[in-house]
Structure 1
Amino acid sequence: MVGRYSNIVIQLAVTAVLARVLSPEDFGLIAVVSVIAVFLSFVSEMGLGPAIIQFDDLTAAQLAGLFWITIAIGSIAGLTLASCGPFIAKIYAKAVYVKIANGLGLNVTLSCWAIVPLALLRRRQRFTTIASMEVGAAALSGACAAFSALYGGGVDTLVVKSTGNALLIFLMCFVWQRPPMSRPSVRGMRHVISYSVYQFLFNLVNYFTRNLDKLLIGKFLGSVQLGLYDMSYRLMLMPISNLTHVVTPAIQPVYAAHSTDTTIIFSSYQNLLRVLFVGGGFVGLMALTCSPEIIILAYGSQWTEAIPVFSILSFSITVQVVLSSTGSVFQALGKTKQLLKCGVFSTFTAGTAIGVGIYFSDLKLLSWLLVISFFLNALQGFYILASEGFGRSMVELFRPAGRVILGIAMLSLIVGVGRDQIYALSGNALLRLAIKVPIISAFYLMMIFVTGDVAFLRRMLTVRVRQSPI
């Protein structure tokens, strides 16, 4: 938690500087190539990271074989992205895409080279080390990016930030977890391949779910609209990644150690879901209520056109915070095939939402349809996890969190209906935020007190101090 939330502060500070110096078009330009870079990263990873965590019977020779495979594939993927630069520049009629592709190609290569050592650190549950690496890399790369932006670096600044972070992570891996260098072997890993294939296919379809919107918006609505959407979407993802991802790196290695006893995992996950609903509900309501102030304070007054988009996407924050935890549970249970099912359904619903929004050239409509797709994905994903992962019902899975779910839904409805009046409050953005935050916090605290979640959290903290993590 310390590492993750330190990272939040760093990212917010760096983004605040970059958003005030760079234009929406700069962010839109790099978003297009970033989509391809993420795709190549998923292809290169091949689901090997989760497989290394899941199977602790891999020998040193087998780990060395996996490491050299990632070295070769990462190099090929990076060169592939760099060579695609002229083609991307031709499609979007902007020569700047050539140098962006070159820079992000190096990013892809370095990220792939770090897969095996990072997976070994997670398998050893060295979460403090990983957090230190991430915070250090974010701080140094962010400082370099801010310096570049202030001295006219333009879109190159965003390349420096991304690639610099990957380089620092890779270098630090060699300090805390030297990659296996023994004689490599790939024999006796059929179970690893079977597990990783479904994980790889899920990563592939999840890529389209998360990035198809950027490719299509950039092509059909233009880089300015893409910049507005991408920055709103990334701001919406911050609480999701930084609430859920505090625990998801620990879910698989900890739960995998108990994979033969699904009862203890089910009980633990019920409590985890309740905690995530409490935290995600608060952040979601805060984002929904304070959308104008968050956008203006984070990015500056030139980003006011992003307020409606961010406001709409904020309706999905709570459900996405909770849903984001399911992937690691599927992995820990060895149910990567079921994880793939969820990914395919998610791609279909999100793809339909994006297609309709693009057809009507309406960014707001696209955002509303995406929110609906997120809720549909959650219903399908938790149904499969409960029934095929635990052999239980979805109602049973959510029963402990039932009252807080109802409370969050009621408060969200109230805020959603009255948000136009809330937005009309006078004063500058910081003053309005100072008024809204205590009010929303007080109502939310009263709600979770009534639902019994205050007592639940106090009980959980007391138990966790005295007992083991699970």
Structure 2
Amino acid sequence: MSKNLKNKTFTGFLWLLAGSSSQTILQVLVLSVLARLVVPEEFGVISIATIFHGFSKIFSQLGMGAAIVQKKVITKKHIRTAYTTSLFIGVFFCILTLLFSNNVAAYFEMPELSRVLKFISIIFIIDSFISVSQSLLQRNLRMKFFALTELISYLVGFGIVGVSLAFMGYGMYALVYAYIVQALTRAIMVSYLEPHSIMPFFDTKSFKELFFFGSGHTIAKTANYFAGQGDNLVVGKMLSATDLGYYSRAYQLMVAPVALIGQSLNIVLFPALASIQTDMEKVKKAYYKSTQLVAYASLLISAILFVNAKEIVLILLGNNWLNVIVPFQILAVGTLFRMSYKISDSLIKALGDVHKRAIIQIIYAICVFTFSYIGHFWGVEGVAFGVLTAIFFNFIFMTHLSLLQFKDTWSKFIKLHLKPLILSVFVFIFAYTTLYVLRSFELNIIVTEIIYLLLVLSFLLIVALRFKGVLGISDEINAVIKKIGKKK
């Protein structure tokens, strides 16, 4: 990458990381409050509703936003055509949801789901209205504002409206209104930051230029979405709304660190790699550096979360959610596979190989449904293990497709993970021993958690500063570590 693009990319990642960190902390606090005010069964109903909302959102955009980011040169015709297409399909799916909400509720045997779907359907139109503006923020690497819109909209929607209504006894509808307010807040902010004409306009030539990439992206994203939600559908149908409440909370806790680093890298890498897509050496270098960052981060996070699962669940969710502990531990093992997949996903999208990516995502979705169904015979824990297996296969397939782009073998990729793996083993042993000793003192659980985290993070920082040469940490990561060390 050029120095300017490299700096913009890394700065953009740090902004997204800061924004995601703040939002993750906020989400954890909000979840901790809501878990004590909304029962597992109601969380289960909301989980099914958000699955259908997310699915419709993918089709309502038809990949137009992603095509705006990927295309080397865009015009006002491209922007207005993409906006008009997204808005039209968003209205269509809103009407479709209103018509078939009763049927969906009957299938899952959740009567209240019908009313919830009718409320949430308005979000299809809101999100379609700003899909192109969001993509322009991403294309222009304005990650500071991208991160702030996500953080502020969540704060207003869930942190203020959701929590307030939950305290007032609105139950699951506190979550419904929170989703709607979040979407409205985000729409207002994004429209202000990246304004464009809202008058409908359609240019056939522009549509065709965007549609080839957009269609492949939509197929892949749809398959990936079903892969991400297939386990919830299986639990909701084959087990119960209560089981889905437990499982969805375990999943949400596990996904938090993935969103923190993997998703942040995905958002910023896609436009950055797309801008240099013709220079494969630069693309290759960026891919492997990102892979190293993900390897260190994900393996360390897995080790810390697995050891600390019981305290995390008790502090954040309370005693009524103990059934979340084991599935959370199982899902936490797959953090590397989820994060690494995000890097491969950015690469393949940037290079435009979206149709091969779509095939892999279809296979991934089939794996999730198959292994989740097999696992449900052993309850929520079995579903979690089935999902872990599917995630592993997706990681293998996407990495292989990425290596094919460079005509590289697996040996270099595996070598990048050896040192992070060794470090994570030492951290796991230290974390397990530390927590075992702390538990023996029978201190207050929050005090125990604070001491545990301080000791583990201090140990990790000392090791990183002392053995950075041996660990093979890149200059960019090393610079961040040094800054943290100075602040401490």
TM-score, normalised with respect to structure 1: 0.91
1:181 and 1:232 map into 2 onto residues whose CA distance is 40
2:398 and 2:421 map into 1 onto residues whose CA distance is 17
User: 2:184: which partner in 1?
Assistant: 167
User: 2:37: which partner in 1?
Assistant: 21
CA distance change for structure 1 residues 459 and 26 in 2, over 3 Å: closer, same or farther? closer
Alignment partner of 1:370 out of 369, 384, 387: 387
Report the aligned-residue RMSD.
2.7
CA distance change for structure 1 residues 58 and 290 in 2, over 3 Å: closer, same or farther? same
Alignment partner of 2:343 out of 325, 338, 342: 325
List gaps (5 residues or longer) in structure 1: 466-470
Q: Is the 8 A contact 1:289 1:415 kept in 2?
A: no
User: 2:114: which partner in 1?
Assistant: 98
Tell me how far 1:92 sits from its aligned partner. 3.5
Letter in 2 for 1:198: G
Alignment partner of 2:85 out of 55, 58, 69: 69
Query: Do residues 190 (structure 1) and 211 (structure 2) align?
Result: no
User: 1:37: which partner in 2?
Assistant: 53
CA distance change for structure 1 residues 418 and 319 in 2, over 3 Å: closer, same or farther? farther
CA distance change for structure 1 residues 30 and 419 in 2, over 3 Å: closer, same or farther? farther
Q: Is the 8 A contact 1:213 1:354 kept in 2?
A: yes
Q: Percent identity?
A: 18
Letter in 2 for 1:127: M
Deviations 1:11-34 (Å, cap 9, x if unpaired)?
Answer: 122212111111111101111111
Tell me how far 1:463 sits from its aligned partner. 10
Q: Is the 8 A contact 1:122 1:250 kept in 2?
A: yes
**More deviation, 452-461/6-15:** 452-461
Tell me how far 1:203 sits from its aligned partner. 1.1
SS of equivalent to 2:204: coil
Tell me how far 1:43 sits from its aligned partner. 1.7
Tell me how far 1:188 sits from its aligned partner. 4.5
User: 1:232: which partner in 2?
Assistant: 250
Tell me how far 1:440 sits from its aligned partner. 3.6
SS of equivalent to 1:362: helix
CA distance change for structure 1 residues 186 and 151 in 2, over 3 Å: closer, same or farther? same
User: 1:50: which partner in 2?
Assistant: 66
SS of equivalent to 2:171: coil
Deviations 1:389-441 (Å, cap 9, x if unpaired)?
Answer: 222223223434432134436765x6999999689654442133234324543
Tell me how far 1:445 sits from its aligned partner. 4.8
Tell me how far 1:313 sits from its aligned partner. 1.2
User: 1:468: which partner in 2?
Assistant: none
SS of equivalent to 2:473: helix
**More deviation, 116-125/81-90:** 81-90
1:56 and 1:181 map into 2 onto residues whose CA distance is 23
1:147 and 1:463 map into 2 onto residues whose CA distance is 38
How many residues were matched structurally? 462
1:74 and 1:57 map into 2 onto residues whose CA distance is 26
Alignment partner of 2:400 out of 372, 379, 383: 383
Letter in 2 for 1:153: Y
1:369 and 1:61 map into 2 onto residues whose CA distance is 46
1:107 and 1:151 map into 2 onto residues whose CA distance is 24
Q: Is the 8 A contact 1:404 1:451 kept in 2?
A: no
CA distance change for structure 1 residues 39 and 188 in 2, over 3 Å: closer, same or farther? closer
CA distance change for structure 1 residues 313 and 188 in 2, over 3 Å: closer, same or farther? closer
Q: Is the 8 A contact 1:288 1:416 kept in 2?
A: no
Alignment partner of 1:258 out of 276, 292, 303: 276
Letter in 1 for 2:335: I
**More deviation, 296-305/142-151:** 296-305
Tell me how far 1:270 sits from its aligned partner. 1.0
Query: Do residues 295 (structure 1) and 301 (structure 2) align?
Result: no
Tell me how far 1:230 sits from its aligned partner. 0.4
1:101 and 1:140 map into 2 onto residues whose CA distance is 21
Letter in 2 for 1:235: L
SS of equivalent to 1:95: coil
Q: Is the 8 A contact 2:37 2:167 kept in 1?
A: yes
SS of equivalent to 1:22: coil
Alignment partner of 1:213 out of 208, 211, 231: 231
1:178 and 1:297 map into 2 onto residues whose CA distance is 43
1:108 and 1:286 map into 2 onto residues whose CA distance is 38
User: 1:133: which partner in 2?
Assistant: 149
Tell me how far 1:67 sits from its aligned partner. 0.7
1:441 and 1:164 map into 2 onto residues whose CA distance is 36
Alignment partner of 1:276 out of 279, 282, 294: 294
CA distance change for structure 1 residues 92 and 166 in 2, over 3 Å: closer, same or farther? same
SS of equivalent to 1:187: helix
Tell me how far 1:54 sits from its aligned partner. 0.9
User: 1:242: which partner in 2?
Assistant: 260
Tell me how far 1:174 sits from its aligned partner. 2.0
2:413 and 2:246 map into 1 onto residues whose CA distance is 38
Tell me how far 1:455 sits from its aligned partner. 6.4
CA distance change for structure 1 residues 94 and 455 in 2, over 3 Å: closer, same or farther? closer
Deviations 1:215-241 (Å, cap 9, x if unpaired)?
Answer: 221122111111000010011001001
Letter in 2 for 1:302: N
2:148 and 2:461 map into 1 onto residues whose CA distance is 33
Tell me how far 1:447 sits from its aligned partner. 5.9
Tell me how far 1:369 sits from its aligned partner. 2.4
Deviations 1:103-138 (Å, cap 9, x if unpaired)?
Answer: 211122212222111111111111112122112111
